[in-house]
Amino acid sequence: MTRRIDAQDAKQGKTGYPVLAMLIVSLGLTFLVWLAVEVYGQWIS
């Protein structure tokens, strides 16, 4: 027999603040790495 699950319980994951925080942190880290590579490139040239 098939069990019925409502749409709220069937969601795969949560959205909202944690996803936004992860996006902001990822962009910040990307910027820092890019900045470090730029400084290193200027330093070796």
| Tens digit of each residue's pLDDT (9 = 90 or more) over 1-45 | 788 888 777 776 666 678 888 999 999 999 999 999 999 999 998
Give the start-to-end residue ranges of the domains of the chain: 16-45
Task: Please list the alpha-helical segments (H only) found in 1-45.
Answer: 17-44
C-alpha atoms less than 13 angstroms from C-alpha of 44 in its C-beta half-sphere: 5
Residue 19: the pLDDT is 82
Cα–Cα distance for residue pair 1/8, rounded to 1 Å: 21
Round to whole Å and give the CA distance between 45 and 37.
12
Written as six digits, the tokens of 32 are: 């820092």
